[in-house]
């Protein structure tokens, strides 16, 4: 799934309007229609009391369209305006005019008891603030957001919950907690990150007619199950488990065997035909009990943890497999000095593809060595520079 920053979405809107000739009001009407569809689904087609909270920008304009469409279906709609009417301009002003022509007016929030109105509502539509919000939320929006969250009523957020930073998903002092959010064209990145996910609730993406070639300019993607499935090769019906590759997880230690278990399970789920966990003999029983599909390579270890004397056993096992193995080094490995030295030696002497994680990265960074260097931010896959570092011994930590 593609996702966008606020700046990317503004550029997509601009290109659609200026280069493709789609009026901004048309996009607003389409957005309002998509949100109306979701709102109607939330209230189940039963005549309901709906409160639409509108700001002065295009987000508020979407709210005016939603209110007009809901009122046309016979719902009792109240529109509360959080900004002076004279501050509403452009397409939002045209949408307000259309709503007024349809017989529905907007009431300034200062003229009603907002808490009471919200309490009497079957659905609250949040169209206060849009994706352009970046600074700390100020009044009257802060008080309105607090009252929406305190109302306990179902909330539909228009494009993004008010107060949420569109790119980071971090509340700007406060943010609406919605039951459902309808994002227009593409979801904004903040809706897919925590804590934004907890504010967005159920995420629905509404098509507002932005051309596909413009949407394709999005630079970020959310990896979904279908995306991963496309990367997995089709397996022959008569395939043998030995045809699907091997994974050796080097990890696990007393008190940390769960990390090795999770890595082994992940390798099995990813499609590896044969998965083995190389771990100290003292934890192999625990690992075997929790990973029925994988096997273990018990290591003698030293004081119950992996040591340099175990590297020979691992290399001998790898040689017997013919080299068709991918290594995963680090999950639950532990940080005993002998263990870190063993990890470095294994990665230096083994030329097989490897993924290094957790304590494996700690070992490669030289943490625990004479320089006492702190752990850097390293990649999860073993890069050539890291392999060289493993050969050359502990190096001063550096950011990658």
Per-residue pLDDT tens for 110-150? 999 999 999 999 999 999 999 999 999 999 999 999 999 99
* pLDDT at residue 40 greater than cutoff 70: yes
DSSP strand pairing (2-3 vs 202-206): unpaired
Task: Report, as an integer, the average pLDDT of 186-190.
Answer: 96
8 Å CB contact between 27 and 17: yes
Per-residue DSSP letters for 103-157?
Answer: T--EEEGGGS-HHHHHHT-SEEEEES--TT--SPP-TTHHHHHHHHHHH---EEE
Residue 365 banded pLDDT, cuts 50, 70, 90: confident
Over range 317-343, report the average pLDDT.
91
Please tell me the predicted confidence (pLDDT) of residue 241: 87
Q: What is the predicted pLDDT for the residue at 388?
A: 46
- Across 48-70, b (16+ Cβ under 10 Å) vs e yields bbbbbbbbbbbbbbbbbbbbbbb
How far apart (Å, rounded) are the C-alpha atoms in residues 191 and 260? 32
Residue 366: which pLDDT band, with cuts at 50, 70 and 90?
A: low
- pLDDT above 50: residue 369: no
User: Average pLDDT over the chain, rounded to whole?
Assistant: 89
Helix then strand then coil, in percent of the chain rounded to 5, is 45, 20, 40
Q: Which has more confidence, 114 or 232?
A: 114
Dihedral angle computed from the Cα positions of residues 235, 238, 242 and 247, in that order, rounded to the nearest 10 degrees: 30
Task: Tokens for 304, please give them.
Answer: 């119950």
Write down the pLDDT at residue 234.
Answer: 84
Decide: helix, strand or coil at residue 200. Answer: helix
pLDDT band at 193 (very low <50, low <70, confident <90, very high): very high
DSSP state of 161: -
Confidence class of residue 393 from pLDDT cuts 50, 70 and 90?
very low
User: Model-level pTM?
Assistant: 0.73
CATH of 241-368+375-391, one of 3.40.30.10, 3.40.1190.20, 3.30.365.10, 1.20.140.160: 3.40.1190.20
Phi-psi region of 257 (alpha: psi -120 to 50; beta: other; left: phi over 0): alpha
| Helix residue ranges, H only, the chain | 6-14, 24-43, 58-72, 90-101, 114-119, 141-151, 196-200, 212-215, 225-231, 257-269, 281-290, 311-320, 337-349, 359-364, 384-392
What is the reported pLDDT for 368?
A: 43
Residue 385 pLDDT exceeds 80 = no
Residues 6 or more apart whose CB falls under 8 angstroms from that of 185 comprise: 4, 9, 12, 205, 206, 207, 208, 210, 215
Nearest to 335 by CA among 326, 346, 344: 344
Angstrom distance (rounded) from CA 70 to CA 256: 56
- Report pLDDT for 124: 98
Proportion of the chain above pLDDT 90, given as a percent: 75
Model pLDDT, residue 302: 77
In order of 78, 383, 396, the CA distances from 399 in angstroms are: 55, 14, 10
Pairing of strands 123-127, 295-299: unpaired
First CA to last CA distance, the chain: 28
Q: How far apart are CA 350 and CA 178, in angstroms?
A: 52
Average pLDDT over residues 176-180: 98
- Domain spans of the chain, in order of start: 2-227, 241-368+375-391
pLDDT digits (tens, 9 = 90+) for 71-107: 999 999 999 999 999 999 999 999 999 999 999 999 9
Q: Which residue has the higher pLDDT, 236 or 373?
A: 236
CATH architecture under which domain 2-227 falls: 3-Layer(aba) Sandwich (3.40)
Residue with tokens 């022959």: 236
Provide the CB-side half-sphere exposure for 35 (13 A, CA). Answer: 36
Torsion sign, CA atoms 378, 384, 388, 391? positive
Q: What mean pLDDT is predicted for residues 174-180?
A: 98
């Amino acid at each position: 799934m593609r996702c966008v920053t606020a700046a990317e979405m503004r550029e997509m809107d601009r290109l659609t309007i200026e280069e493709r000739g789609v009026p901004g009001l048309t996009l607003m009407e389409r957005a309002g229609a998509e949100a109306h569809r979701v709102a109607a689904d939330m209230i189940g087609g039963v005549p309901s009391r709906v409160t639409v909270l509108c700001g002065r920008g295009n987000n508020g304009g979407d709210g005016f369209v939603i209110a007009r469409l809901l009122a046309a279906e016979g719902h009792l709609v109240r529109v509360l305006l959080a900004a002076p009417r004279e501050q509403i301009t452009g397409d939002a002003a045209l949408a307000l005019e259309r709503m007024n022509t349809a017989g529905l007016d907007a009431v300034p929030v200062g003229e009603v008891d907002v808490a009471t109105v919200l309490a009497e509502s079957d659905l609250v539509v949040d169209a206060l603030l849009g994706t352009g919000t970046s600074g700390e939320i100020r009044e009257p929006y802060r008080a309105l957001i607090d009252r929406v969250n305190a109302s306990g009523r179902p909330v539909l957020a228009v494009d993004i919950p008010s107060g949420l930073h569109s790119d980071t998903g971090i509340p700007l002092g406060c943010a609406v907690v919605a039951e459902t959010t309808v994002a227009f064209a593409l979801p904004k990145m903040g809706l897919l990150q925590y804590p934004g996910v907890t504010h967005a609730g159920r995420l629905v993406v509404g098509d507002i007619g932005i051309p596909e070639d413009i949407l394709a300019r999005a630079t970020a993607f959310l990896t979904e199950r279908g995306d991963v499935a496309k990367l997995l090769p089709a397996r022959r019906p008569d395939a043998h488990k030995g045809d699907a590759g091997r994974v050796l997880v080097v990890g696990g230690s007393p008190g940390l065997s769960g990390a090795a278990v999770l890595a082994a399970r992940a390798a099995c789920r990813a499609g590896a035909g044969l998965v083995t966990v190389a771990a100290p003999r003292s934890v192999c029983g625990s690992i075997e009990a929790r990973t029925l599909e994988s096997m273990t390579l018990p290591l003698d270890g030293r004081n119950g943890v992996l040591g340099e004397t175990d590297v020979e056993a691992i290399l001998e096992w790898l040689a017997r497999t013919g080299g068709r193995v991918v290594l995963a080094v680090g999950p639950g490995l532990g940080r005993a000095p002998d263990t870190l030295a063993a990890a470095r030696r294994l990665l230096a002497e083994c030329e097989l593809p490897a993924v290094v994680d957790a304590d494996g990265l700690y070992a490669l960074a030289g943490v625990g060595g004479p320089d006492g260097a702190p752990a850097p931010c390293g990649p999860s896959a073993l890069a050539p520079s890291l392999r060289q570092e493993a050969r050359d011994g502990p190096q001063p930590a550096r950011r990658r």
